[in-house]
Structure 1
């Protein structure tokens, strides 16, 4: 069972997310918080598998709450917000969120994001992820295999990961087992020194087309 902490200052949103998760066999909401300060306390008390974090809240906002939670212990925190602009996106990434989804996403994509986050992946809104990669590409030259000593297979995994594909999707695309893909992702993190899939995506550049 995936244990979720829901953080949002709107009661209706919290109730809706609880109802959505409660309808699943493998997801449950173990706590809900109306602001960042409550989120930090509840993350400590409940140690959820995944945190769904609103970003714009009065008092302690979601970005500061993310910093405080991760300073205490590592856990997947997925931003769930109405804002897809850089004013919120990059501070959230720097704070350590492991995913970034928009509130207009479909219930199916949100649930998939929760499950992926619990598995150590980084669920991102496709449009947001594309903008991150474009921005990284404008700032510096693409990373090459020689930069990190990657094998040809690691390069393939690297590029597909940057497009936002899950481990299962990468496995299907490359005709590999999911466990093998996980091993390659762990190897990429070790070789590049990056701690999560989001940071890897900032290094990689998917081929055109």
Structure 2
């Protein structure tokens, strides 16, 4: 079954270009092209969208805001695809629940691979983005996430696996536990940290805050 993709970008050339590229591949089905974050949110609510490709800078509602609303109100996975790699955009998008952050200068094949990776439940961050995350950039968060001694040994194993971009199924296979148990561990980790998404867990671990 083809991955249902939504393209949100205020540049019509980018929208149409991506639509053509993805449309030529039977693994994808472009269910819509929109020009702002609000339209993206509305389509994700009204239609079945597996992965939403979102630019950062869009009118009405930008990509960072759209990520938050889509994560809260739908089951759609979001992937930022933009030309901007400013720290504030990266962190806010990932904090709001984006499953990945990719720059538009990537090849069509890499963009398609990223969509498939996100659809499969994993996280996508190219090197330049991961470098910014691991180097630690300033955030608006005042409270530190609890350190490692707050977690059980198994929870730390799950945190490390999440930071490697593994899906629940892959974590289950790696740690020899059921997917249900993995979900329970993730829920416990989120409750202890006050975080909302698995991507945030990966970010804080890579920054040495877990």
Q: What is the match of residue 190 of structure 1? A: 187
Structure 2 gaps of 5+ residues are 138-142
RMSD: 3.4
Q: What is the match of residue 90 of structure 2? A: 89
Give CA-to-partner distance per residue, 1:111-135, whole Å, 9 cap, x none.
1211121122221222212321331
Give CA-to-partner distance per residue, 1:98-149, whole Å, 9 cap, x none.
211111122222112111211222212222123213317xx969943x4310
Distance 1:50 1:204 in 2: 25
Q: What is the match of residue 105 of structure 2? A: 104
User: What SS class does the counterpart of residue 136 from structure 2 fall into?
Assistant: helix
Distance 2:160 2:98 in 1: 21
- Say if 1:34 and 1:178 are closer, same or farther in 2 by CA, change over 3 A: farther
- Say if 1:104 and 1:160 are closer, same or farther in 2 by CA, change over 3 A: farther
Structure 1 gaps of 5+ residues are none
8 Å contact kept, 1:157–1:181: no
Q: What is the match of residue 140 of structure 2? A: none
User: What SS class does the counterpart of residue 204 from structure 1 fall into?
Assistant: helix
Alignment equivalent of 2:151, drawn from 137, 144, 148: 148
| TM-score, with structure 2 as normaliser | 0.77
Distance 2:59 2:145 in 1: 39
8 Å contact kept, 2:97–2:197: no
Give CA-to-partner distance per residue, 1:9-59, whole Å, 9 cap, x none.
111111121122122222111101011222122222223001000110123
| TM-score, with structure 1 as normaliser | 0.77
Q: Would you say how many aligned residue pairs link Structure 1 and Structure 2?
A: 199
